[in-house]
A = this chain, B = another copy of it.
């Protein structure tokens, strides 16, 4: 595996998910595979799960890890090709990527979208400009449009718990107090569709995801109808793609309730975390018996370890 940026890099998803579940059974089995190799984890934004699960996964494989809060610990980065660097940015991504490539065997990069310039975010300027000058296998630790390690962990979670071959998976928009990226829902949709689930995306008007992530999914504006018969309910807020980064006013109440859950097929509840309790999702559902939220988070190590193992086998 040369890169892990989208579901396309996963190869056959069900196969990779099965490999991950095998790794989960014995996390120490390949503890010498990464000996002498170093993983570099670069953050342009905050991280808890991604940071710690990726480190742990690397340790499980015997790797060393270097974590860098790129903008805070190092220099501010310029991403524009041809820039005259007379601003506060004192290092170009071209140098940073080239240098880090020489110090690490595998690199992970997190960069949130700005939610201002859709083209910049959706062309993945930061991720792609880094990759262009990076000579090592690159892992997205969440980028402008996708969060593949999260989605892979979600697929592992569904594969481990599903009761029918083609579960009905409902990704439902939830309220929030600030504008969030579309990366998690985009990514979840493309992974779930590729995994062969029956995917329904339920959201208020104005919150439609970019079309390329929804192909093969049913799109609904009726949360109740979407939930009917659901096996999994993935709760997530996101801001508008159409009116980019905005939070258009919403009709109706999109907060999930135990009452609404009754229409499901005893569905499991999922969320990628962090979750704003009692804003996006109520305590009762987060902490209830149908919640898979902590299980998903645990699978972040499994997912990262499966990806790192694949990469280590090719370098």
- Chain A interface residues toward B at CB < 8 A: 28, 31, 36, 38, 40, 43, 46-49, 51-53, 55-56, 59-60, 64, 66, 68-70, 73-75, 78, 82-86, 90-92, 94-96, 98-100, 102-104, 177, 273-279, 283, 287, 293-294, 297-298, 300-301
Q: A36-B28, A95-B293, A278-B84 are in contact. Are A52 and B66 (CB under 8 A)?
A: yes
10 A-B contacts, Cβ less than 8 Å apart?
A38-B56, A55-B103, A59-B64, A83-B278, A84-B279, A90-B274, A95-B275, A95-B293, A95-B294, A98-B294
Q: Which residues of B contact A31 (CB under 8 A)?
A: 36
Are B46 and A83 closer than 8 Å at their CB atoms?
no
Interface SS of chain A: mixed
Question: Complex formed: what's the CA distance from A177 to B87 in Å?
Answer: 9
Q: Which residues of B contact A68 (CB under 8 A)?
A: 48, 51-52
5 closest cross-chain pairs (CB), A and B: A91-B274, A85-B276, A48-B74, A102-B298, A59-B64
- A67: min CB distance to chain B, Å: 8
Q: A73-B46, A73-B51 are in contact. Are A85 and B294 (CB under 8 A)?
A: no
Are A103 and B73 closer than 8 Å at their CB atoms?
no
Q: Which residues of B contact A46 (CB under 8 A)?
A: 73-75
Are B74 and A51 closer than 8 Å at their CB atoms?
yes
Q: Which residues of B contact A75 (CB under 8 A)?
A: 46, 48, 274
